[in-house]
A and B are shown apart, each in its own frame.
Chain A
Amino acid sequence: MEYLIGIQGPDFVLVAADTVAASSIIQMKHDYDKMFKLSEKILLLCVGEAGDTVQFAEYIQKNVQLYKMRNGYELSPAAAANFTRKNLADYLRSRTPYHVNLLLAGYDEHDGPALYYMDYLSSLAKAPFAAHGYGAFLTLSILDRYYKPELTREEAVELLKKCVDELNKRFILNLPAFNVRLIDKHGIKDLEKLPLATTSTS
């Protein structure tokens, strides 16, 4: 039902998430934001079971902020990803595991852009592109086919549009809008929501 996608470029990471908050067959909200800002250059995209998503993401968010307050400097994206994974793993075999699927995207001054894929079983993988949800089945092959490691920002947005068009064409559920954000050395930037009115659906 929910869809997350991330594409890493040479000096940026582009992420997008659908904006539907659903409860069984009803769309409760059409403009729900599934991205959580962990720091100036790290975003956590979180989908999964109701309640678990917000509670877990906010827990990670507050802890990353606390680290910054205590130590005077921020966690790097790699450290934040591993911290998140460790928390997921610790809760996995408890009475209350968190059923959440995550994408963590960030920009580090020394290591550059990074995209991490995490799932509810607390696996962690650094990847050039990644997606979560049923929509991932339809779009991963598009990413495989058209992705190049040195793609520009415009090319990344075009690739994202290809994925969204494919979802609009073949995915049985209606995902009317996507939040799109770009992280680079200047920080997090909101891009235009997709799909655009003029996007073709063929």
Chain B
Amino acid sequence: MHSRRFRHTRECRQELIGRHLEHVRVDIEGATSLHSMAGVGRKKDGAREERRGGEFQHGVIVAVDSRATAGSYIASQTVKKVIEINPYLLGTMAGGAADCSFWERLLARQCRIYELRNKERISVAAASKLLANMVYQYKGMGLSMGTMVCGWDKRGPGLYYVDSEGNRVCGDSFSVGSGSVYAYGVLDRGRREDLSVEEACELGRRAIYQATYRDAYSGGVVNLYHVKSDGWVCVSQNDVADLHRKYLDEAK
């Protein structure tokens, strides 16, 4: 299948070596490409996934790294890749930084309008559908965004993956970004039915750490959030180097 849609991924991986300094500055300000492990969001809920049997019952754990790159240059190690849409909805960032933060901020606005109009919080499904429909209008025009919309609504915990290609899927665990493949491995093998909150947090942390270990475009710190029935909390922030030392010591 040969689509005439513009393939934006190649565009983001431009070589900066040899370019004029002016251009480098523009690239960083404009659309710094976050080719890094963005998020590992996991949600399991007995009520929603009855046929799967009881899995993680306590909400959604969201773990992200914090590295931003422009080509092979590390532009920042302290990026906030979890966007707080509202007190019970989180969005993660992968792809173009500008695209993610802009569209998710727009989503926050839409969610607030929904609340005002309907006197009710928006569901995670509806919020993710709003985002998916917004970016679908720009399909093929070069947007680069892969995000997970995580929250807790009246149907329980919710986790949706939405991207600029038009994908929108509901699931109970996802991994997004350039390092996602490494995180999937650790995440899938470490999942169990009876995880406690601390174990789930540790699994998310470990999955991100393993991704930063192998993927050059991921690194910095691991930010961990937990979305509960009464909203999200920021659980921890761990530098990847410290985690490396800790896991190395544990292995001895």
A50 and B167 in contact (CB under 8 A), knowing A28-B161, A28-B174, A55-B136?
yes
* B139 at interface by CB-CB < 8 Å: yes
Interface string of B75-111 (1 = CB under 8 A from A): 0000000000000000000000000000000000000
Report the separation of the CA atoms of residues A8 and B165 in the bound assembly, to the nearest whole angstrom: 34
Cβ-defined contact, A49 with B161, below 8 A: no
Cβ-defined contact, B169 with A21, below 8 A: yes
B181: chain A residues at CB < 8 Å are 25-26
SS class of chain B's interface: helix, strand, loop or mixed? mixed
Give the residue name and chain of the B residue nearest to A32 (CB): B169
Report the separation of the CA atoms of residues A78 and B141 in the bound assembly, to the nearest whole angstrom: 36
Report the separation of the CA atoms of residues A59 and B108 in the bound assembly, to the nearest whole angstrom: 25
A99 and B1 in contact (CB under 8 A), knowing A25-B181, A55-B136?
yes
Report the separation of the CA atoms of residues A29 and B139 in the bound assembly, to the nearest whole angstrom: 22
B66: chain A residues at CB < 8 Å are none
Cβ-defined contact, B161 with A50, below 8 A: no
* B46 at interface by CB-CB < 8 Å: no
A99 and B171 in contact (CB under 8 A), knowing A26-B180, A51-B166?
no
* A159 at interface by CB-CB < 8 Å: no
Cβ-defined contact, A54 with B171, below 8 A: no
Give the residue name and chain of the B residue nearest to A54 (CB): B168
* A202 at interface by CB-CB < 8 Å: no
Report the separation of the CA atoms of residues A29 and B168 in the bound assembly, to the nearest whole angstrom: 11
Shortest Cβ distance from residue A52 to the other chain B in the assembled complex, whole angstroms: 6
Cβ-defined contact, B169 with A29, below 8 A: yes
Report the separation of the CA atoms of residues A99 and B168 in the bound assembly, to the nearest whole angstrom: 17
Report the separation of the CA atoms of residues A52 and B161 in the bound assembly, to the nearest whole angstrom: 16
* B152 at interface by CB-CB < 8 Å: no
A28: chain B residues at CB < 8 Å are 161, 167, 169, 171, 174
Shortest Cβ distance from residue B51 to the other chain A in the assembled complex, whole angstroms: 9
B166: chain A residues at CB < 8 Å are 49-52, 54-55
Cβ-defined contact, A51 with B174, below 8 A: no
In the complex, how many residues of chain B place their beta carbon closer than 8 angstroms to a beta carbon of chain A? 21
Cβ-defined contact, B139 with A51, below 8 A: yes
**How many pairs of A and B residues are in contact by the CB < 8 Å rule?**
45
Give the residue name and chain of the B residue nearest to A28 (CB): B169
A50 and B165 in contact (CB under 8 A), knowing A28-B171, A28-B174, A29-B171?
yes
Interface string of B1-20 (1 = CB under 8 A from A): 10101000000000000000
* A23 at interface by CB-CB < 8 Å: yes
Report the separation of the CA atoms of residues A25 and B185 in the bound assembly, to the nearest whole angstrom: 13
Report the separation of the CA atoms of residues A21 and B174 in the bound assembly, to the nearest whole angstrom: 12
B209: chain A residues at CB < 8 Å are none
In B146-179, the 8 Å CB interface with A consists of: 161, 163, 165-171, 174
Shortest Cβ distance from residue A94 to the other chain B in the assembled complex, whole angstroms: 12
* B184 at interface by CB-CB < 8 Å: yes
A25: chain B residues at CB < 8 Å are 181
A99 and B169 in contact (CB under 8 A), knowing A28-B161, A28-B174?
no
Report the separation of the CA atoms of residues A32 and B136 in the bound assembly, to the nearest whole angstrom: 20
A96: chain B residues at CB < 8 Å are 139-140
A55: chain B residues at CB < 8 Å are 133, 136, 166
Residues of B within 8 A of A (CB): 1, 3, 5, 132-133, 136, 139-140, 161, 163, 165-171, 174, 180-181, 184
A-B contact pairs, 16 of them (CB 8 A): A28-B167, A28-B171, A29-B169, A32-B169, A48-B1, A49-B3, A50-B163, A50-B165, A50-B167, A51-B136, A51-B165, A51-B166, A51-B167, A51-B168, A55-B136, A99-B1
Ranked 3 nearest A-B pairs via Cβ = A51-B166, A50-B165, A50-B167
